[in-house]
Structure 1
Amino acid sequence: MLSPVPVIVAAVVVLLTGWTLVDPIIGAGIGLFIVPRTWILLKQAIHILLEGTPPEVNVALIEKRLLELPAVTAVHDLHVWTITSGLDAMSCHLVIDDMGRSSAALAMAQAILRKEFKLNHVTIQIEDYLLRENEPEIRF
């Protein structure tokens, strides 16, 4: 946004003094000013494209808070990623010991994620503890 100012200054210097070397010097200066910001933007874009966990999100703390909920016995497949700048998403599975309390556990989980972790785009799968305990182990 500020790059026209040095370009205008360079043009005035060339007009008044005839020193044409000022133009490439100013151009190189603008380039050096832009490179660090471009690098930061590129890193952010790659992080988003690779669905990396946002640096400000503590996944272990999210898991701990979800495990503190009544009826929740386990949390697994917990993932947090950035969809776009300023919009993070989360998905996980909650194992519930009493499916009669699953709606309450889901509502509490969503409230905690929204208020404490600023996660509004959340997908939570509820699993029955009894069904999970009786699952046959799959080996490959």
Structure 2
Amino acid sequence: MSGHQHDGHAHAASPDADWRWLAAAAALIVAFMAGEVVAGLVAHSLALLSDAAHMLTDAAAIGLALATIRMAARPARGDYTYGWRRLEILSAQANGITLVLLALWLGYEAVRRLITPHQVDGGLMLGVAIAGVCVNLAASLMLARANSASGRRSLNMAGAVAHVLTDLYAFAATAVAAIVVLASGFDRADPIATLVVVALMLYAGIGLIRASGRIFLEAAPAGLDPAALGAAMAARPNVAEVHDLHIWEITTGMPAASAHVLVQPREDCHAVRADLEALFAREYDITHLTLQVDHLTEGHPDDRHPEPPPESDTAHAATHSHCEDAHGPAYRPADDR
């Protein structure tokens, strides 16, 4: 029996983004948020106050992204053999949950305002909304610059960007509502704009929770079919069987895999392993790969399990002869199925 770890790069990764751009975006948002709270109270605008509340979560999301980036850059050591990379998934999930909870609260307040509308100052509301669009555009550009320092997709950064983009759409909706109020005096346009923002926040928040949840549950990366990969492995020369195939993400953009591969008797195990490593890297961009490669003994049972398996288990005889508790299906060459 032989095990092999193939790893094309070190686990001590550099930070995902330029923290200076993140810090600048957070400072810009906090400064504008303080002024917006005052404007929202003066204008009696729920849309402005909801935007300010959301901007508070924007600043928190960027701050969390900053802390996560610095922690994730620490090298792997001790008990944390992958380092702190998965902290970004905790950050993304926190951002998603925050968006959903805030959306529920704002939705409740918007419905109350629809039932009992409040008079709003459309002029002040419009001015602040336009300024908010400009501020969030600037913050989005800063986050884009920060994210460009990363060579991979980051769910942590995606959470911060989702907050800022949702806020950008919110200010646009608030500006439209302000124009309606100024043109027609229809004060219910303010809570209606808030409900539009609520829908956007729910969409972004649920998406972040779902994506981070897949990683916590160690599901295969989205768009990668484990069955197709298993079949592709089994189709390679001299592969007799593949089982215990596991594919997951350490963190976003860092897929990993492991498998137990049985090679035809008297064939070169090392050549098969090298061929499979090339397949994973070339076709699936997976370089965090562990393959346990063994020869398939003739007659299937190996020296440790000399008795043949029960008749009901003959379909998985080869698997059981090497793994007493194999997980998932076994993949064999097409001729053997």
Q: Would the TM-score normalized by the shorter structure come out above 0.5?
A: yes
Give the 3-state SS of the residue equivalent to 1:90 in structure 2.
strand
Aligned AA (1:112): L
Aligned counterparts of 1:28 and 1:81: Cα–Cα separation in 2: 37
Give the 3-state SS of the residue equivalent to 1:94 in structure 2.
strand
Q: CA deviation at 1:45?
A: 1.5
**In 2 relative to 1, CA 132–115 (structure 1 residues): closer, same or farther, beyond 3 Å?**
farther
**In 2 relative to 1, CA 133–68 (structure 1 residues): closer, same or farther, beyond 3 Å?**
farther
Give 2:198's match in structure 1, choosing from 6, 14, 31: 31
Map 1:1-140 onto structure 2 (within 5 A): 1=165, 2-11=169-178, 20-97=187-264, 101-130=268-297, 133-136=302-305
Q: RMSD between aligned alpha carbons?
A: 3.0
Any idea what the Cα deviations from partners look like across 1:10-67, whole Å, max 9, x if unmatched? 4566577765433222111111122223222221121111111234222222222222
Deviates more, 1:125-134 or 1:20-29: 125-134
Paired-residue identity, %:
27
Any idea what the Cα deviations from partners look like across 1:64-120, whole Å, max 9, x if unmatched? 222233332221101112333333221101123457722211110011112223323
Aligned counterparts of 2:227 and 2:252: Cα–Cα separation in 1: 22
Higher relative contact order (CA 8 A, sep 6+): 2
In the alignment, structure 2 segments of 5+ residues that lack a partner are 1-164, 306-320, 326-337
**Where is the helix percentage greater, Structure 1 or Structure 2?**
2
**In 2 relative to 1, CA 71–133 (structure 1 residues): closer, same or farther, beyond 3 Å?**
farther
Tell me the matched-pair count.
Answer: 139
Aligned counterparts of 2:239 and 2:170: Cα–Cα separation in 1: 56
